[in-house]
Structure 1
Amino acid sequence: MKIRYKVLLALFLLSIITYLDRVCMNVVSKYVKSDLGLDNESFGYVLGAFSLSYALFELPTGILGDRIGPRKVLTRVVLWWSGFTALTGTAFHFVYLLLVRFLFGVGEAGAFPNASIVISRWFPSVEVGRAQSVIWAAGRLGGALTPLLVIPLVHAAGWRMAFFILGAVGGLWAIVWYFWFRDTPSEMPGISADEIEEIESDRKKTITHHKVDWKIVIKNPNVWGLMLMCHLFFYASYFFTNWSSTYFQEGRHMSEEQAKNFVSLSYFLGAIGCLAGGFASDIISRKYGLKIGRRVVGVLGLGSSGICFLASGLTADNETAGYLLALCVLLKDFTLPVAFAVCVDIGKQYAGTVAGAMNFAGQLGGFFITIIFGIIVQHTSDFNYPLFLIAGCLIVASMLWFLIDPTKNLVVEKEN
């Protein structure tokens, strides 16, 4: 196996662990709320604390990865968040849990921007879309596995033990990563000269700047288009990350077993969507050009997902709603790897900075919907109102892809 595919395997495992830790709180929500005496509005603030800190530290961690390399940054990121994942299991009070989840978000911020840095350094441009699709499919696989693994564990040992175990798994990954991985292919022991040439063959141009000119970033319409698109996109993503289990059990009055199955199905279909979207975008790009290859996937994926969100909120049949929402994840995640591929397309050696900016805006969207969902359902007792809001956000996000041009680089490139 080529070394870059082993690197991709390591990122695949990282993404699985990320979503195991992230989705666990959604899966065990009823136990946490019961033990700590929290209503949906209070629990929304707990969930939102993660999204807010994740957003605030996303861009700085992406910039740090561009400057000192993803090896050190990802090691710090995973060790930090794994520690606070374990500490979640010690929660005894609302304020304590709020603080721990905020610090958990501080730690996890920058994981995916730094994964994008790895891809930008380790993969030829024709493989960027599919590499991103593998990483995001792994995240969805992690989300699919979470209810299947965590709920039996909760029944056997309690919800606190689930967080202790997940924290230990993340710590093990970080140790292996630090001692094995290197920031560039040329530094990696055992890699062949042929593979280095294969990776670097279409990267002969280098950017003369060593630091990002923030005036360029602020004025760049591509970056703003990506940020606004991702902000609206993540209203949908964080519904599934934080509230889907509660929606199925309290809003649709499903059993825990039914909710577990629909949450797992949603993420499983999301994995398929991620893989299909990345590969489809690369195939279309080779035939019709990068602009069309990225835009087609973005418009179709988010637009069709918005329609399914609307339909799921309108239907009275619980199973139909469950299957429609699972389909929503497949369709919206068709776009996810393409969004991060565009960060590499336009960011080049500053891919971490661009991905950090985009994901910062996305996480703010995640923060807002997490809080808004809890407030709406607490005061109206209607779990479908937020779905209509999310549907509108997705449709607008799909239209924003017409403003995003992956062929326009953030910084002008010059030949050496």
Structure 2
Amino acid sequence: MQYQFPYRYRVLVLLFFLTLITYLDRVCISVVGVRIKTEFHLTNEQFGWVLGAFSLAYALFEIPSGILGDRIGQRAVFIRIVLWWSLFTVLTGFTTGLASLIIVRFLFGMGESGAYPTSSAVISRWFPATETGRSMSALFVGQNAGAAIAPLIVIPVAIGLGWRASFYVNGTIGLLWVLVCFLWFKNNPSEVKGVSDEERNFIERNRRFVNHKQPFSWKIVLKNRSLRALVGQLFCSQWAQYFFIAWMPVYLQEGKHFSENGMKTVTSYFFIIGIVGVLSAGFLIDFLVKRKGLRFGRRFFGMIPLSLLALSFLIIALTENDVVVVVCLYLAQLFYSFNPLVSFSTCVDIGGDRVGTIAGIMNFCGQIGAFLLAIVFGKIADLTHNFSAPIFIIAGVLFTGSLLWLFIDPAKPVVKA
């Protein structure tokens, strides 16, 4: 009998390209950050507010977007998200100074909010529980692929046509994804004729999602110790992630005096390593959960890699050697690869039919952490005239986040079936 590629993996390809385009657009501003700072005469603190505007808006609208996906369906929310962010990516190229940059990036963050909670909700509907970690890995492989490609596209365009043109190019790519989503994607396997009865039954018997309305009390949910610890650790881990995607290119050029081409090479390899890390993490997480149980598997890969990530940042802050800095950055990316997978997988574990809402709550707090990092990093770098000082703070925040995994129990759903 001829082998048929499972339909759910085609959905995973769509999600892969969603996150690829997300990070292609998101990383664009940091890759040309030095050019923008120079043209608009921005200090590090001012550029931090530009970066922070995105994170603040992303945080504020994350929970509403997650709720909206759970209520009206992920397909409609995906189309809204990608159309909106594509528009404001293009409009970034039309900005004229600090004020317009902050406004446009804030609106860009509003548009992109909800992408990951909505994707998590799709995985809870389309994949069996045993494939949660591997399914999540596709999202973050796409994320790293987009971030790795970004310097290779953005810098040549910026050199040849100016930094504004890079936003025009990136903003048009999302429209192709919207067309495919509109014509092809459905919210549930039961809505698709191309899914075999065997695969549909397999998914529906083994997925985390439950197809009946569950009671949802905000008071009970927000008092849940596991959820509070989960959102707390993501708040901490996003200090690392937002350094990687927002400040690292500027840090390499202005703090370590890399050339623009040198920064491009280091940044691209950095995110390529992230692809390897995410692919490995997805299989390792599912393997350990299968061997040792859900509680141990999630806690182990939540706590240990985050502790090692903190150690990597501490070494980066202490050393003056550029080779050591680059090696530790690459190791940090490998360690970070586990955190988003295990965090969003835990949302699927505990979220029931409200995975988008639970992931939105978690990612809201994560993006508040990203917002604070964006502001604090630039402010401290300006005050101390040193890029190492804020990296010490990042290391301390990350270690605190690792300890919070001791209080997370993925085996106890927040929303009762």
Normalising by the residue count of structure 1, what TM-score does the alignment of the two structures yield? 0.97
Of 201-210 and 6-15, deviating more is 201-210
Q: Separation in 2 of the partners of 1:41 and 1:192?
A: 55
Alignment-derived partner of residue 373 in structure 1: 377
Letter matched to residue 250 of structure 1: E
Alignment-derived partner of residue 118 in structure 2: 114
Partner deviation per Cα, 1:151-193 (whole Å, 9 max, x = no partner)? 1111121111111111110122112101210111010131111
Whether 2:155 is the aligned partner of 1:151: answer yes
CA RMSD of aligned residues (A): 1.3
Alignment-derived partner of residue 322 in structure 1: 326
Alignment-derived partner of residue 280 in structure 1: 284
Q: Separation in 1 of the partners of 2:108 and 2:209?
A: 38
Whether 2:251 is the aligned partner of 1:247: answer yes
1:79 aligns with one of 72, 76, 83: 83
Secondary structure at 2:206 match in 1? coil
Partner deviation per Cα, 1:258-315 (whole Å, 9 max, x = no partner)? 2112211221222222222221111011111011111111111101111011001111
Consecutive unaligned residues of structure 1, counting only runs of 5 or more, are none
Of 203-212 and 268-277, deviating more is 203-212
1:184 aligns with one of 188, 211, 231: 188
Shift of the 229–195 alpha-carbon distance from structure 1 to 2, 3 Å rule, reads same
1:307 aligns with one of 294, 305, 311: 311
Alignment-derived partner of residue 92 in structure 1: 96
Alignment-derived partner of residue 2 in structure 1: 6
Contact 1:140 1:271 in 2 (8 A): yes
Contact 2:308 2:335 in 1 (8 A): yes
Letter matched to residue 250 of structure 2: T
Whether 2:297 is the aligned partner of 1:296: answer no
2:363 aligns with one of 340, 359, 362: 359
Alignment of structure 1 residues 9-408 onto 2, 5 Å: 9-203=13-207, 206=210, 209-210=213-214, 212-408=216-412
Letter matched to residue 121 of structure 2: I
Q: Separation in 1 of the partners of 2:274 and 2:232?
A: 22
Contact 2:78 2:118 in 1 (8 A): yes
Normalising by the residue count of structure 2, what TM-score does the alignment of the two structures yield? 0.97
Q: Separation in 1 of the partners of 2:171 and 2:131?
A: 32
Q: Separation in 2 of the partners of 1:134 and 1:222?
A: 25
Secondary structure at 1:335 match in 2? helix
Deviation at 1:206?
Answer: 3.6
Of 210-219 and 3-12, deviating more is 210-219
Q: Separation in 2 of the partners of 1:136 and 1:107?
A: 19
Shift of the 195–227 alpha-carbon distance from structure 1 to 2, 3 Å rule, reads same
Contact 2:128 2:208 in 1 (8 A): no
Q: Separation in 2 of the partners of 1:235 and 1:212?
A: 30
Letter matched to residue 14 of structure 2: A
Partner deviation per Cα, 1:74-117 (whole Å, 9 max, x = no partner)? 11001000100000011112111110000000000000100001
Secondary structure at 1:42 match in 2? helix
Q: Separation in 1 of the partners of 2:385 and 2:253?
A: 13
Of 77-86 and 170-179, deviating more is 170-179
Contact 1:51 1:367 in 2 (8 A): yes
Q: Separation in 2 of the partners of 1:23 and 1:258?
A: 17
Deviation at 1:33?
Answer: 1.2
Q: Separation in 1 of the partners of 2:359 and 2:416?
A: 18
Q: Separation in 1 of the partners of 2:404 and 2:277?
A: 20
Contact 2:208 2:348 in 1 (8 A): no
Secondary structure at 1:282 match in 2? helix
Partner deviation per Cα, 1:21-52 (whole Å, 9 max, x = no partner)? 00111100011112222121111101100000
Q: Separation in 1 of the partners of 2:25 and 2:307?
A: 29
Letter matched to residue 218 of structure 1: L
Deviation at 1:213?
Answer: 1.4
Q: Separation in 2 of the partners of 1:201 and 1:115?
A: 20
Deviation at 1:212?
Answer: 2.2
Q: Separation in 2 of the partners of 1:204 and 1:118?
A: 11
Partner deviation per Cα, 1:211-230 (whole Å, 9 max, x = no partner)? 52111211111110111000
Secondary structure at 1:201 match in 2? helix
Deviation at 1:204?
Answer: 9.0
Q: Separation in 2 of the partners of 1:166 and 1:110?
A: 20
Contact 1:302 1:395 in 2 (8 A): yes
Q: Separation in 2 of the partners of 1:7 and 1:363?
A: 26
Contact 1:50 1:105 in 2 (8 A): yes
Contact 1:266 1:330 in 2 (8 A): no
